[in-house]
Amino acid sequence: INDNPEIVDFYKFHGGLLEAWDGPALLVYSDGKSIGASLDRNGLRPARYSMTKDGTVYMMSETGVVPDLEEADIVEKGRLGPGQMINVDLATGDFKDNIAIKSEIASRHPYGEWMKNQR
C-alpha cells in the first residue's frame, strides 16, 4: 500500500472520520452486482480463496473445505491478510485484488490535495 500514495492519502483523510475496525471479523458482502470479502485490520480470521478455470471463486476458512475442488482446476489462490479485500463482478467475472480495489476507490477524489489545502 505504501507504494500507492493515493491509497495512503485516502486512509489518512478518513482516519480522522472513522474509528479503526478491529474485528475480529471477516465481512462478506454483495449488492447483487458484485460480491466481495474484507478482513479486519488484525487479520484474526482465516480467509482463503481459490479461482478455477471456469471463473468460479471459492472463499473458505481452510483449504480442503470444498471436496471436489481439484488442484489442477485452480488458476489462482491466496489468502486475505490483515485489512485486505477481494471483489468479483458478477456480470463480467472480473476479479479484483486488494490493491486494485483500494486504488480504484482512492483515485476517485484528490484526498492528498484536500489535506494539503487544510494544513
Residue 118 included in any domain: no
Residue 116 included in any domain: no
For cell 489468502, what's the residue?
A: 79
CA distance 45 to 55: 25
What integer pLDDT is reported at residue 47 of this predicted model?
93
Residue 119 included in any domain: no
- What is the average per-residue pLDDT within 52-57? 94
Total structural domains within the chain: 1
Residue 33 included in any domain: yes
The dihedral built from the CA positions of residue 21, 84, 87 and 105, taken in this order, carries a sign that is positive
Cβ contact 47:79 at 8 Å: yes
Residue 36 included in any domain: yes
Beta strands in the chain (DSSP E): 26-30, 34-39, 48-52, 57-60, 74-79, 85-89, 95-96
Domain hosting 22: range is 5-111
pLDDT in tens, 14-52: 887 877 777 789 999 999 999 999 999 899 889 999 999
pTM of the complete model: 0.83
CA distance 108 to 119: 21
Cβ contact 82:40 at 8 Å: yes
- What is the average per-residue pLDDT within 68-85? 94
Residue 82 included in any domain: yes
